[in-house]
Amino acid sequence: MCGTTEEQFAELMVVLAPSVEQRKRRLADRPDRKRAPGAGQKPAPWWLRLLVALTHLRQGTSVRATAAIFGIHERSVRRYRDEVEEVLVGFGFRPPGAAKPIRSLEDLAVYVADLEKPTVILDGTDVRRWSPYPWKDQQAAWSAKTGDHVVKATVVADSTRRPIWVEANPSGEGRTNDIAMLRAQQALLTTLGVMVAAGATVLVDRGYQTLWRDLGRQRTVIPAIKNRHHDLSDVDRRRNRQLSSIRMPVEHACGRMKWWRALSYWRRPIDAFDRTIKAIGALAAIT
């Protein structure tokens, strides 16, 4: 139900425990705290909080349904979910073979530089969402490609077929195309530029046709497209098929994230999407 094996769940309990304790101390030492240390109701065991949160994210059930499954209050489900998401985002992405978790864009650049073949693969992903009420917000949320209102994010992966970085669209809009979303994520685009300058190669699909203007032509691999002035040659078609095969790990990384059914349909506020998709990306990298 929670999307992990017993061994993976035990590993998550162990690797996330220091972050949980650090969060607990930070909340206890905050300046505006009114209760004395140790006062109030004692929290549920860490294993139960983690189990409830993972089940909620894996099954994509509502807060009410998750509360009914475990026989707890709906507020407890929200509290456990928010805690686990915050801890996972703080823990970062740890794909197989990584020396340490990737917690920042600087860590991402170091991780890619240490790869035997420094290569990153980019793709955009979207999640269907509820329809906004004002008409102008409906227009902004509509994706013609998906045919529905969506929220979007950029996924970065490597050959491990796991996400090594995920970042939601800063504007929260669904009509933004992939290249415009990446350019709005200025810190990520700058980090990609640093990687390319260090010798890394960036693989993308047709949604990033003009990315070479930002990163240069030499290390940016983009599929060839046909237009009214240029038809695809046999060489172009073979190259596109080969690139599509090489880019498959990012598709698998997106698929691993979509296993967590909280990303099958977005019901919560748009501001919470970045934290949730980062947390699920961290889970997809670990499990």
Strand 148-157 with 201-203, pairing: unpaired
Say if pTM beats, i.e. exceeds, 0.75.
yes
One-letter amino acid for residue 287 of the chain: T
Q: Alpha helix locations (H) across the chain?
A: 6-28, 46-59, 63-70, 74-91, 105-113, 135-141, 178-184, 186-197, 212-215, 234-246, 248-258, 273-286
Residue 195 is predicted with a pLDDT of 96
Gap between the Cα atoms of 284 and 287, Å rounded: 5
pLDDT at 32: 83
What is the identity of the amino acid at 41? Q
For the chain, 287 residues long, give each residue's pLDDT as a single digit of tens. 898 999 999 999 999 999 999 888 888 788 887 777 677 677 899 999 999 999 999 999 999 999 999 999 999 999 999 999 999 999 999 999 899 999 999 999 999 999 999 999 999 999 999 998 888 889 999 999 899 999 999 999 999 999 999 999 999 999 999 999 999 999 999 999 999 999 999 999 999 999 999 999 999 999 988 877 778 888 989 999 999 999 999 999 999 999 999 999 999 999 999 999 999 999 999 88
Q: What is the DSSP letter of 233?
A: P
Quick one: which H or E segment has residue 121?
strand 119-128
| Per-residue pLDDT, 26 | 84
- Whether the CB-CB separation of 243 and 203 falls below 8 Å is answered with yes
For residue 43, what pLDDT is reported? 82
Which tokens go with 163?
């996400």
The partner residues of 266 in beta bridges, in order of sequence, read 129
For residue 254, the model assigns a pLDDT of: 96
- Specify the pLDDT at position 244: 92
Q: Is 40 helix (H, G, I), strand (E, B) or coil?
A: coil
Sorted by where each begins, the domain ranges of the chain are: 6-91, 105-286
Give first-to-last CA distance, the chain, whole Å. Answer: 14
How confident is the model at residue 30, as a pLDDT? Answer: 81
What is d(CA 205, CA 178) in angstroms, rounded to the nearest whole number? 10
Predicted pLDDT at 230: 78
Q: What is the largest CA-CA distance in the chain?
A: 73
Q: State how beta strands 142-143 and 148-157 pair.
A: antiparallel
CA–CA distances in Å: residue 41 to residues 32, 35, 57, 284: 19, 11, 26, 33
